[in-house]
Structure 1
Amino acid sequence: MLSSVKPKVKSLLEILRAGRRIQLHAAYTKQWTRSHSMTHTFDSGPIAVIINNGARAGQDLDEEVLRQAFAVHDRQLQMHRVAGDQIGETVRTSLEGGARIVVAAGGDGTVNAVAAELVGRDDVALAVLPVGTLNHFARDLGMPTETNDAVTIIAAGRTRSVDVGEVNGRIFLNNSSLGLYARLVVERERLQRHTNLGKWPAMARAAWSVLRHPHSFSVALHTDERELRRSTPFVFIGNNDYTIEGPHSGERSCLDGGKLAIYVLRPLNPWGLVKLAFRAATGQIVHGHDLEQLHATSLVVESPRAQVDVARDGEVEPFEMPLRYRMRPRALRVIAPLAEAST
């Protein structure tokens, strides 16, 4: 009996996921169509595809399938399979060779590395082929996860401009943070280096370790209009507002609102953090109770520490204090699945 139930459950989950993708696509199309008209279309010229060969998703990507998908749309393709530290140079070389659309085939880290070379330019556009483990930016753009559907949108070349966050001269498309998440990533990477654990088992063990030993730190946050001094285990800076309550928790409905969304977690003991993690996973975070929220176009973060680990779009690296954040409004042109306004 169980064997007959499992396929039905699996099918139901697939239907729900498909419905969710359609719902997201419609929501973002409606939001952006309401606020913008089409400005640029890059429907000719070569398209450069950057595949991060250092990521598992990049290694598994079938180049021939991708070439065939683009060939249907009669678009010239430049395929580059490179190591992560070669992405920037490869993008610059592609632009010099005439590419005006650069596709990041990978997760958020790959997308960030490609976008860093395109920010501030009106004559080129970023496209995202969501093949990585985590594809938050692609999801918030409304890009479909099916390769052929994504290629159709990329080949059409319709663009919009989105905001870009920046900290000490380094960009982020999704968010940046210091505290809990950065500690978790550092611990996960340590476990992967010294054990045979894969990414997700290492992440689970790292989360258990970090949540059992939360460390609050003192920060002073200086925004455009106010100053906030707190002891906190976690400061999160979003590129525009994140939904933190309800079924759409962790998503953004607007990518061009021009504001940094700053969330400061109140100090919690280990059990409080575990309960908070559960509420976050189920969309039950409460404004004012669990988090303080601020909005600003610029932010300075000060701490007694000389250096802190900072996460940007999932990647962690040390930064010298103070941290200087700013919003760069509509600084990045992106390919997105947007419909033209009909009314």
Structure 2
Amino acid sequence: MAAKLPIIVNRNGGTAAKMGDKLVSTLTEAFDAARANAAIEPLDGKQIPKAIKAAAKKGRVVVAGGDGTVSCAAQELAGSDAELGLLPLGTLNHLARDLGLPTDLKEAAKVAATGKATAIDVAEVNGKVFVNNASIGLYPLMVREREGLQDDKGWPKWLSTIPAAYAALERFPHHRLRVDLGKGERAIVTPLLFVGNNIYSLDAGALGQRASLTDGKLSVYAVSHRSRAKLLWFAARALFGRARHDMDFVTLGECETLKVWSSGDSIEIALDGEVQRIDSPLEFRIRSGALKVVTP
């Protein structure tokens, strides 16, 4: 009898939480349709790393959840021979989108079970892996505010985001940083430093998307110091692909390594949407082809 395909599910995230008691039966039906002998294991977030590490010994492990769950899996699997299948059950599913994975559950299960593995890049900061992006400033602050609203009021993520963004703008942090993209240090003041795993587009119709996950580069964007009103105007223009490189960014570039010094001993940073506090300096690097992901 063929070994069962391990399916590690974040039962508290996004679509999985909405399924409730039907979660296991719905996923079982999807993998049965793909003729895959699946072992479905719904877990809380803290249980997932250990489960992924154990399941990886079988060669292929499928994770069902959002980008945070995928990032957790990448932390365990990057640099190994294990293959990672994705079942996008989060809110945004950025990596799944950039990989061209189907949004239909049965189609995604079929790809995860029968697709071929391809090597993609991951990024890393101080030993912590991320598959999409890292940011300092407004975004981590907004995430903290959003999580507080979700905990206190029980609001869903999408509803909590609007007042959380407003609260972050009210506090409006500007970070004094020193950065080195491999060409020497420079001091910057910015409300938002963004570091992407591969090249993120600023073009109209493709904002925030990646054409490739194998470029072997970090993309770095530091928004210029400005007033709240001008920052909102920048955000509106960026949404329509009208950001101006010369005016809107104090630092903009691509590199294989990046070093960032904060004004304190540590700094809050969002890694694939999960906020952590990391000691300064932050040492980023790209790890080319480090993660084997199952694609159509």
TM-score when normalising by structure 1: 0.81
Residue identity (%):
35
Question: Shift of the alpha carbon at 1:223?
Answer: 2.1
Q: Aligned letter for 1:137? A: L
Task: Tell me the SS of whatever aligns to 2:236.
Answer: helix
Compared CA separation, residues 157 and 201, structure 1 to 2 (3 A): closer
Contact 2:135 2:193 in 1 (8 A): yes
Aligned to 1:121: 80
2:198/2:213 contact within 8 Å kept: yes
Query: CA shift at 1:58, angstroms?
Result: 2.0
SS across alignment from 2:246: coil
For residues 125 and 82 of structure 1, the distance between their equivalents in structure 2, rounded to whole angstroms, comes to 20
Q: 2:91 aligns with which of 116, 133, 143?
A: 133
User: 2: CA distance between counterparts of 1:286 and 1:128?
Assistant: 35
Name the counterpart of 1:184. 142
Q: Cα distance, 1:45 vs. partner?
A: 4.8
Match of 1:24 in 2: none
| Alignment correspondent of 1:90 | 51
Once the two structures are superposed, what CA deviation does each residue of 1:201-255 show, in whole Å capped at 9, x if it has no partner? Answer: 3211111122233221111111222322111111100001000121111100010
The separation in 2 between residues aligned to 1:280 and 1:46, in whole angstroms, is: 46
How far did 1:106 drift?
Answer: 1.0
Within a 5 Å distance, the mapping from 1:197-208 to structure 2 comes to 197-208=155-166
Q: Distance in 1 between matches of 2:89 and 2:77?
A: 20
| In 2: Cα distance, 1:45 partner to 1:229 partner | 55
What code does the residue aligned with 2:219 have? A
Alignment RMSD (CA, Å): 1.6
Q: For 1:110 and 1:273, how far apart are their aligned partners in 2?
A: 31
Cα 1:117/1:278, change in 2 over 3 Å: same
Give the 4+ runs in structure 1 shifted more than 4 A: none
Summarize the alignment of residues 1-343 of structure 1 with structure 2, pairs less than 5 Å apart.
45-61=3-19, 62-96=23-57, 98=58, 100-122=59-81, 124-291=82-249, 292-337=251-296
Report how far residue 297 of structure 1 moved: 0.9
User: Distance in 2 between the 1:280 and 1:324 partners?
Assistant: 28
8 A contact 2:85–2:293 mirrored in 1: yes
Supply the distance in 2 between the matched residues of 1:215 and 1:89 (Cα, whole angstroms).
36
Measured after TM superposition, the shift of residue 64 of structure 1 is 2.0
Q: Which has the larger radius of gyration?
A: 1
How many angstroms does 1:137 deviate by?
0.5
**Which whole-Å CA distance do the structure 2 matches of 1:296 and 1:95 have between them?**
31
Cα distance between partner residues in 1 of 2:5 and 2:255: 36
C-alpha distance in 1 between matches for 2:228 and 2:4: 53
1:80-122 C-alpha deviation (Å, 9 max, x unpaired):
10000100111122234x2x22112111011111221111012
How far apart, in 2, do the equivalents of 1:111 and 1:203 lie? 21
Which residue identity is paired with 2:107? D
Q: For residues 53 and 306 of structure 1, what CA distance do their matches in structure 2 show?
A: 35
More deviation, 202-211/231-240? 202-211
2:62–2:86 CA contact under 8 A, matched in 1: yes
| Corresponding residue SS for 1:197 | coil
Q: TM-score, normalised by structure 2?
A: 0.93
More strand by share: 2
